[in-house]
Chains A and B, each alone.
Chain A
Amino acid sequence: MRGIWALLGEELRLSAQRAAWTAAALSFFGMAGVAALKMLPDLLPEGAVLPVEMTATEAVRGYVRTLYQIGSLVSVMLGMDVVSGEVERGTLEPLLSAPVSVGSVFLVKLAARLAALSAGVAVSAAVTWCYAVSVFGPTDLARALLASAYALLPISSGALCAAGASALCRSQSSSALLGAAATLGLFAASRVAPWWLTPFGRAELAYEILSGGAAGLAEALGGTSLALLILLAADLAALLAAERMERWWG
């Protein structure tokens, strides 16, 4: 058990760079959104009615929308090498010859990537909030972070889908394609699927949090968490099946 904690520590250390890249990418898109909102009146014809309010809250709302799109993509990229990346680099074989189970190695690597995603989202939310406040005036930082934290749950599904795909594929590119397809499918299905899938498509709940209300938050959080647990179970099933079929060895 001590060995697994040591492995988690090393994985978290190695994930610092991933977290930095994630924060940089999401901050760039967040700040670009704020800048675009600021320039909006100049782009519209004179006398036209603004489609959105020119407030910091609206700017942060735009950032949350970006999180759903760009964040999901980043999430897929973080998850795509959990197993197949290790297979490609040849680092899985020595690990599996040590007295640790493949399931614990998988969970440790996935946890480190989710930690990198969370850190990246937290930093980018704070950066975007600072920029929005400096441009449009004050808004509530706690709500901005809470809305981002809520959005983090559905976008984590990208990493989970890609990690499951990486157990089944022998190359990172195949894992990325399969993971992205699964994530898109999940988001598309959320429009028509039963209650536990609907939170994936409910970006508006994050906006409600920003606006001071959040009806159905507990239900949505429960639904999203359940959906993520089901995805995790599917990942582990894919992993054990792949190990049984010896997909990783030529």
Chain B
Amino acid sequence: MSGGVLVEDLVKVYGETEAVRGVSFDVRPGEVMGLLGPNGAGKTTTMRILASVIRPTAGRALVNGADVVRERDRVRRSVGYLPERSGLPPGMTVERYLTLFARLHGLADPEGRAREAARELGVADRLGSRLGSLSKGLKRRVALARALVHDPPVLLLDEPTSGLDPLSRVQVLDLIARQAAEGKAVLVSSHVLPEMERVCTRVCLISRGRVLARGPLDEVRSSAGRPVLRIRLRPRSPGAGDLVPLLEGALREAGLAARLRTLRGAVEVDPIGGDGDVRSAAAVVLRRLLEAGIVPDLFEIHKPTLEEAFVGLVGGGELAGDLGAAR
């Protein structure tokens, strides 16, 4: 593998603490890979190893074909790294700071590249501002511009949308998708799973330093269970009392064995077996509802979300606090 990122059996031990325990994954050029996990899962440590800021205890990691231990200089030239903390010196202006990093990377036109990166991140009008005077969101954008200033083939972004307002989040996610579309390999770590679902093509879930699941987004999502059919009628609407017998009949007709349960006022059809699938069952149910003159308030096939897969794999108790804080 010449481009992208390849991680094999990566181990990192701090004293007696194993922060990363045999993590393996790869990020191909042109894709966004999400590195997901609760606090203390080992995401930041993995990112730091890939940015060649720290060394692994064991295992191998290649970034754009260069070994993170033996070829640190080559790795650092290939990587645009956004750490968890933006880490901007308050006394410098945006322009001087971005120009400095362009010079550190030996670019031919450092001022031009700095202005271009600032424009890309929407901070071109703040080039003369001191970094210490910027809001948290603007600081994050400047830090992202710093990671992009040398146009690296690999991006390592640790919580890129942290501290951004909703509009800026959307813009940054679009930027990440654009970078991947240009052929860059992008590894993003985040707690905000709906955002990850939006930009990632594949994900790697880690907890306590171990990989719990990795693969295409749909594959990981499906580990939380099969799609379910949700139907909700308006309270006291005609036919509300007939819904359950109607559903049982429709499911029999569709050949689907399912458990019916009530969730927040909606009836949920959770398939547990049979020959049919939830999609064809949904068609039968909808036809029968309309024949009976019942118009549902909600009728949807709900696919498991990444968040549900995440909670299911990692364990709800451990995650409750993290996800609550991230929302």
Contacts and interface: CB of A to CB of B under 8 A. Distances in A.
A is bound by B:
yes
Interface of A: 2-3, 6-7, 10, 14, 17, 89-100, 246, 249
A112 to B, nearest CB: 12
A54 B79 CA distance: 66
Contacts of B77: 99
Which of A6, A7, A90, A99 has the most C-beta atoms of chain B within 10 angstroms of its own C-beta? Answer: A99
Interface string B55-98: 10000000000000000010011010101011111011000100
B91 A98 contact: no
Nearest to B103: A6
Given A91-B87, A91-B88, A96 B105 contact: no
B51 interface: yes
Query: Closest 7 A-B residue pairs measured CB to CB?
Result: A90-B87, A90-B85, A3-B104, A6-B103, A97-B81, A98-B104, A99-B76
A97 B146 CA distance: 11
A110 B77 CA distance: 25
Contacts of A94: 81, 83, 87, 101, 143, 146
A235 B73 CA distance: 23
B105 A98 contact: yes
A93 B53 CA distance: 7
A211 B259 CA distance: 101
A90 B79 CA distance: 18
A6 B100 contact: yes
Contact of A97 (B55, B76, B85, B86): B76
5 contacts: A10-B96, A90-B86, A97-B52, A97-B79, A100-B104
B239 interface: no
Contacts of A2: 103, 106
Contact of A93 (B14, B76, B83): B83
Interface residues of B, number: 31
A7 B100 contact: yes
Contacts of A91: 87-89
A99 B96 contact: no
Given A6-B104, A100-B104, 4 more contacts: A10-B92, A10-B96, A90-B85, A91-B89
A246 B89 contact: no
Given A97-B52, A97-B76, A97-B79, A14 B89 contact: yes
B87 A89 contact: yes
A95 B99 CA distance: 13
Contacts of B87: 89-94
Contacts of A10: 92, 96, 100
A242 to B, nearest CB: 12
B53 A99 contact: no
Contact of A99 (B83, B99, B104, B143): B104
Nearest to A102: B53
Contacts of A7: 100, 103-104
A151 B103 CA distance: 37
Contact of A98 (B48, B83, B88, B101): B101
B81 to A, nearest CB: 4
A93 B48 CA distance: 9
Contacts of B53: 93, 96-97, 249
B104 A249 contact: no
A14 B66 CA distance: 35
Contact of B106 (A3, A14, A92, A96): A3
Contact of A246 (B14, B76, B85, B91): B14
A14 B88 CA distance: 13
A99 B54 CA distance: 14
A148 to B, nearest CB: 28
Nearest to A244: B55
A248 to B, nearest CB: 9
A12 to B, nearest CB: 12
